[in-house]
Amino acid sequence: MALSWLDRAELLLYGAAFVCGIVSAAALAVAQGEFEGHCILYGEVSYNTTENAFSFSTFSSFSLCYFISVISILIALYCFCILLYWVYVSCIDEVTRGSLWLNISMVISVVILFFLLVCACILRVGMNILCDSITKTKKVQRCPEAETLRWVSPYDGSRFYTNLYSAEAAAWVNLFFWVLVLLLLSVQKKVSGSRPAPFQPLSGSDPEWTTSETDAIIGPYKP
């Protein structure tokens, strides 16, 4: 079937949101892997003068990073399923979404926006606390500079800031894409509401189909 430009724009946004979800989850998972699976968001870093390397005093709960990863993956899977559905629909007869499915899609988009906002804020605040603890050691002036210094084995901090920044940026960009998706759904709902109702022939039970009109055409009915 031929998709309208609104449907095509919506599909492009779903594709972009899918990529953002995968990037956010993957970058955070890599950051955890470099620190033996620990969640370094909200962590406190100290400088080990004996080994001349950074080390962690405390880590945050595993569930914090897992929450962000699970939300990102679930959103990516939802986008992937929507894309598969529309690819399937485009190969068969024309199918249009009714107002009910548009309303359901809008509710899902609002829920996704809420969880994305929570994830993005967790990443932002968690990185700020982590970077503050790093700069307080007086060994670096900026957080990214800590990637060039040693970390206590078996930790590898050569890309910790890059990975966390990528996860956060992907979450904020994903949030922006879903705002656009919600706007497109609102426009589609408005457009579908302004369309004239499809023509339906009158039946015998309709009040418009009166006896006087039939009598004028075929004469009065005589049992």
The whole-number pLDDT of residue 6 equals: 79
71/27 Cα distance (integer angstroms):
14
The reply to whether the predicted model has a pTM over 0.85 is: no
Angle at 130 between CA 127 and CA 134, to 5 degrees: 130
E strand or H helix that includes residue 175: helix 160-194
Structural domain boundaries in the chain:
21-192
Q: Do residues 161 and 144 make contact, with C-beta atoms less than 8 angstroms apart? A: yes
pLDDT tens-place string over residues 164-177: 999 999 999 999 99
Q: Would you place residue 206 in the very low, low, confident or very high pLDDT band (cuts 50, 70, 90)?
A: low
Tokens 């949101």, residue? 17
pLDDT tens-place string over residues 131-172: 999 999 989 999 999 999 999 988 999 999 999 999 999 999
The answer on pLDDT for 211 being more than 60 is: no
Tally Cβ neighbours within 10 Å of residue 33. 12
Torsion sign over Cα 8, 11, 17, 22: negative
